[in-house]
A and B are shown apart, each in its own frame.
Chain A
Amino acid sequence: MSSFSGLARATDPIDQNKATAMENVKIAAEKVQVFYGETHAIKDVSIDIRARTVTAFIGPSGCGKSTFLRCLNRMNDTIDICRVEGRIAIDNEDIYDPKVDPVQLRAKVGMVFQKPNPFPKSIYDNIAYGPRIHGLVRRKSELDDIVASSLQKAGLWEEVKDRLDSPGTGLSGGQQQRLCIARAIAVSPEVILMDEPCSALDPIATAKVEELIDELRENYTIVIVTHSMQQAARVSQRTAFFHLGNLVEVGDTQDIFTNPVDKRTQDYITGRFG
């Protein structure tokens, strides 16, 4: 257990014991099954995701990597026919426990989507939205600070500091995506999930976002779903390969790409399918 969990539980001896036992695991998934109506979309996936690491999920389209990602902050709850079984724990707390409020969970586990989706509001309001709804600030000056620091962390500050009042939808695609990342950071999550964050961006914007991901790794646990194996190799330290709803292989990125264990992983990274 990392010290993300703060002082509240640092005094808890049991927790500390567990934390040392689990080393550095932020998210632990055990035997997760996901069903869309009759379709069995995720089969028996168990994976540990380490804190302050970039973990990449790769695999051919439709393999379930995005679905699994959306389980991690219970975004699948918004889909009526979706059903999740198994256990997913963050900091050793089952996030599907009935006592858990998905709203609180999502404040802790932020998400960035495939297509940049800024709200049709000003840049400032886009960032301020999260802190406002979660009641994180008491004064306007605090909010200003959060907005500024989030934009700085997302590397967007210099580009937009003079036009915080202009609409977020007026930015370029890459800027919009970084705005969405800044928006996610503003609620100070511990985990950031990214669902193919660069698939709608051009190469230059992609490079900027990747650079940003690398910087964010210092403070956040990042899980990124990507189509591009190069991107996985560039930004991640750990890689998980999904195929047809199964987690085929997970390991250090270098190992996966140079020395895959499973035949399917090898076929995929050498371009036989996908």
Chain B
Amino acid sequence: MALSLLLLCLLALSALAYVLARGKAFKSAGGDIRLLHSLPGYYGWNGALTVALPSLVVLVLWLGIQPAVIDNSVASMISDHAAGESNVGLVMSDVRRIADGLDLAVESGAMTEDYAGSIHADLTDVRGRLGSLGVALGSEVTQEKMRAAQAYRSMTATGNWMRTGVVLLLAFVGLAISYRRADKDFRARNFVEQVVKGILISAALIAILTTVGIVFSLIFNTVEFFKLYPATDFFFGTTWTPSFGGGSDLGILPLMWATLYISFIALAVAVPVGLFAAIYLSEYAGSTVRSVAKPLLEVLAGIPTIVYGLFALLTVGPLLVEAFGEGGILGLGWMKGGTAVMTAGLVMGIMLIPFVSSLSDDIINAVPQAMRDGSLGLGATHSETVKQVILPAALPGIVGAILLAASRAIGETMIVVLGAGAAARLSLNPFDAMTTVTAKIVSQLTGDADFASPEALVAFALGMTLFVITLGLNIFALYIVRKYREQYD
């Protein structure tokens, strides 16, 4: 039975359970709603949930597990000889494609089910026949692959039948149980609420699952990478010259250097501007200035990073070249092309201004008014109050905000991809083009490399490094900010 049909069946059964359970409970109370423990709707929901939940859970698990099980047992059919020419994964994807092709052929009536099951690759031009149906097969279809594909199909078919059977059985059992339980004394509301609570909890767990997913996807591939490329060379190598032909140097240091350099420039722009803007807005500005300037600054935060990337590539870069490039206005000749550490850093700084200013604004506002009064009451000027009382009091929070901004800068991708350049370089000149960790993650994974080469896998190691650094910064920063908030709560 097709999946959609099965789902429809479940829906219908749930609806049926709702009606039946509600009706029976109502009847058991002699039609008097006051005698019921819960509102009639709860009995209905109790029925519907008892039918739908277990069967859906089993269905989802089944969908996840069945392909893996079948893959495994089919893969064991493939001899080492066949796998020897490439790897098992590639053979398996061929097998799957043949199986899909046969499915399509049967569906469109080009083959009968029996024929598809018994077709012999050595005797028939399977590739040609499937090709005429629009299924392109990469390599020649050997009899071994054909047998595997046929086994794959038959196992899938059996699995699907069993799946339908089990799921429907569960649904009917659920129906029976809920019908039997639907009685005026049954605490339907409590039951339904427990189930709802379970759903809420699983939603909250998705956050955890995401983190686990991130960690696993990074670790798994990073370990693969370190099997192919020594970790010490990766962490301490000073050259980055990937070549997909092999023999690459994949040292992270030049990338790390550019990342930190750009982040430093970005913070050098964003922190003073953002901090002074926040101080002015929260301590000096009248309500009209505040109500205009604050949202305007925050517009900068709402602009997607791709826009900043383009701004860096097409506006800021050329402008900087005009000033600092060869034959530029300043006649310095420091800059060779528009993409440079300075370009990316400057634009990233602009992006971070509202981030720093709104975080600092919150933090400065959290300093109690009593502190200001105390200082002003002693005859301090406003700026003395800010510099000597408010900022020291807010310092931990502001440090936290700056760390969060730094973590943003380190993880920022689009601006550096477009604005920083593509060559990895260890240089002190901020007008040189360099490339960063994030930019290389993008370039190593958007190429057509297969996931088995160190040149592609290195992206996961880079990602892992990035994740660990930003996570450390975030946890530390959030801890500081939280501690700071508690101080004044």
Contacts and interface: CB of A to CB of B under 8 A. Distances in A.
Contacts of B375: 119, 129
B380 A133 contact: yes
B366 to A, nearest CB: 13
Interface in A111-136: 111-113, 115, 117-121, 129-130, 133-134
Contacts of A118: 374
A184 B286 CA distance: 29
Contacts of B376: 75, 78, 106
Interface string A80-119: 1000000000000000000000011111101111010111
A120 B377 contact: no
Contacts of A112: 377
Contacts of B374: 113, 117-119, 180, 183
A119 B377 contact: no
A73 interface: yes
Nearest to A193: B377
Interface in B373-406: 373-381, 384, 388-389, 392-393
A110 B287 contact: no
A73 B372 CA distance: 15
Contact of B377 (A73, A80, A121): A73
A104 B379 contact: yes
B371 A117 contact: yes
B378 A110 contact: yes
A108 B377 CA distance: 10
Chain A interface size, under 10 / 10 to 19 / 20 to 34 / 35 or more: 20 to 34
Contact of A129 (B372, B378, B381, B393): B378
Given A73-B377, A119-B375, A133-B384, 4 more contacts: A108-B379, A133-B379, A180-B374, A183-B378
Contacts of B200: none
Contacts of B389: 119, 129
Contact of B379 (A78, A103, A115, A121): A103
B165 interface: no
Given A113-B370, A120-B392, A180-B374, A80 B287 contact: yes
B393 A113 contact: no
A184 B378 contact: yes
A118 B376 CA distance: 13
B368 interface: yes
Contact of A117 (B287, B368, B379): B368
Top 8 A-B pairs ranked by shortest CB distance?
A106-B379, A111-B377, A107-B379, A117-B370, A117-B374, A130-B378, A120-B393, A133-B380
Chain B interface size, under 10 / 10 to 19 / 20 to 34 / 35 or more: 20 to 34
A187 interface: yes
B378 A80 contact: no
Interface of B: 286-287, 368, 370-381, 384, 388-389, 392-393
B486 to A, nearest CB: 13
B377 A184 contact: yes
A106 B392 contact: no
Given A80-B286, A113-B373, A103 B380 contact: yes
Contacts of A113: 370, 373-374, 377
10 contacts: A103-B381, A106-B379, A110-B377, A112-B377, A113-B377, A115-B370, A119-B389, A129-B389, A134-B379, A184-B378
Nearest to B372: A78
A222 B99 CA distance: 96
A184 B368 CA distance: 19
A75 B377 contact: yes
A73 B392 CA distance: 26
A115 to B, nearest CB: 6
Nearest to A134: B379
Contacts of A111: 373, 377-378
Contacts of A80: 286-287
Nearest to A131: B378
A248 B286 CA distance: 36
B392 A121 contact: yes
Contacts of B393: 119-120
Contact of A75 (B286, B373, B384, B388): B373
Given A117-B370, A129-B388, A133-B388, A187 B379 contact: yes
Contacts of B373: 75, 78, 111, 113, 117
A80 B287 CA distance: 9
A187 B377 contact: no
A75 B375 CA distance: 11
Nearest to B380: A133
A117 B384 CA distance: 17
Contacts of B379: 103-108, 110, 130, 133-134, 187
A91 B286 CA distance: 33
A129 B379 CA distance: 10
Select the residue from A110, A117, A129, A130 with max chain B CB neighbours within 10 A: A117
A180 B378 CA distance: 10
A213 to B, nearest CB: 17
Nearest to B377: A111
Select the residue from A75, A121, A133 with max chain B CB neighbours within 10 A: A133
Interface string A155-187: 000000000000000000000000010011001
Contacts of B377: 73, 75, 106, 110-113, 184
A184 B287 CA distance: 31
A68 to B, nearest CB: 15
A119 B375 CA distance: 8
A149 B402 CA distance: 41
B100 to A, nearest CB: 69
Nearest to B385: A133
